[in-house]
Amino acid sequence: MSSTDTQLSGFFLDGAARYQEMGEDYQELWRSLSRASEGGKRFRPALLAGIYAELGGADADLASHVGAAVELLHTAFVIHDDVIDGDDVRRGRLNVSGTFDQRARALGAGCERARVLGTTAGILAGDLALVGAVRMIALTGADPRTTRRLLDLLDHAVRVTAAGELADVRFSLDLEPVSLGDIITMEEHKTAVYSFVLPLQAGAVLAGAPERLVSGLGELGRLVGIAFQLLDDVQGVFGDETETGKSALTDLREGKVTPLIAHARSTASWGDIAPFVGDPTLTESRAAIVRDLLVVCGSRSFIEDLAASYVEAALGLADRLELPPGFISWVTTITDDLARRAA
């Protein structure tokens, strides 16, 4: 069991013990939240612990505690994201909403009422995870100044991610033209800030790094985070589901305006691609046609090259910040792995 898993296990055991009187529904909500936190690569806490150690931090338990809080924040966002998208499954099994929806149906509730209960459970579980992340930071054991700085970083990440999520849903309404730059900014806000900027800066703050370095790591996290999301979007259409754990049809069926699709809209092939995008009945054979068109029109290579340019900029900044080469190499394996899965 990793140090992050150990910290999260303690968090969930403590929460279950302190609120036993809340009844079975609440206990199932807490168990569902605990299950939602399982799995994943834990790269956010690993990123935090890695930069903390590289900058001379020596209290591994402190770093793992804050890393677990960042992972719990991720869990909150994932649960709420599933509610927004109307998804009942995550990583091949029922998520919080799906669990409560299915339980209600098994007890005889109608589809609509069961759906309401599932949605409610998802919202509440995400809220519990979000508050839990704040509590873990507040009780991390660091000195008051460091704790205040960590809470400021967490607060900033939550606010920016909320703005990014809202923009993502608004863009899907297709009420106005949305540029590639608009979409990249949205994805930076929705994912890069909490997944990369927050853990890098939190690790640096814990290590007592000067503000210049904390700020530089924020920019580094932004660059790597955008590259990560660009490649994740490519993977969302071209990836192997057996490796990624998610369908390569969902983004196309939902008509998500990703950078890949935004670029395709600017090409002569868009007239051929458009009828397939946003079709909820899209089959694998028809999706294969879309993929071929996205390659032929140059959209896939454009986004992959753009991601590479962000990684290159991040590496240049890392040199200027005089970060250890080994640490940066480890960070870039994250984007390399995404590119390989979508190959």
- Are 36 and 96 in contact by the 8 Å Cβ rule? The answer is yes
Which residues, 6+ apart, have CB-to-CB distance to 65 below 8 Å? 7, 136, 140, 141
* Span 49-73, pLDDT tens digits: 999 998 999 999 999 999 999 999 9
Percent of the chain with pLDDT over 90: 69
* Span 195-213, pLDDT tens digits: 999 999 999 999 999 999 9
pLDDT level of residue 342 (50, 70, 90 thresholds): very low
* Span 234-251, pLDDT tens digits: 988 998 776 666 677 888
d(CA 162, CA 257): 18
Beta bridge partners of 89: 94
DSSP letters spanning 108-163: T--HHHHHHHHHHHHHHHHHHHHHHHHHHHHTS---HHHHHHHHHHHHHHHHHHHH
pTM, two decimal places:
0.91
Which residues, 6+ apart, have CB-to-CB distance to 216 below 8 Å? 317, 320, 321
Beta strands, E only, the chain: 89-90, 93-94
Packing angle of the helix pair 60-85, 96-106 (nearest 10 deg): 50
Top pLDDT among 159 and 92 is at 159
Q: What is the mean pLDDT of the chain?
A: 90
pLDDT level of residue 335 (50, 70, 90 thresholds): low
Q: Kindly state the average pLDDT of the residues 168-175.
A: 86
Residue ranges and CATH numbers for the domains of the chain are 215-343 (1.10.600.10)
N-to-C CA span, the chain: 31
Q: Kindly state the average pLDDT of the residues 163-171.
A: 93
Whether residue 176 has pLDDT greater than 70:
yes
pLDDT at residue 244 in the model: 64
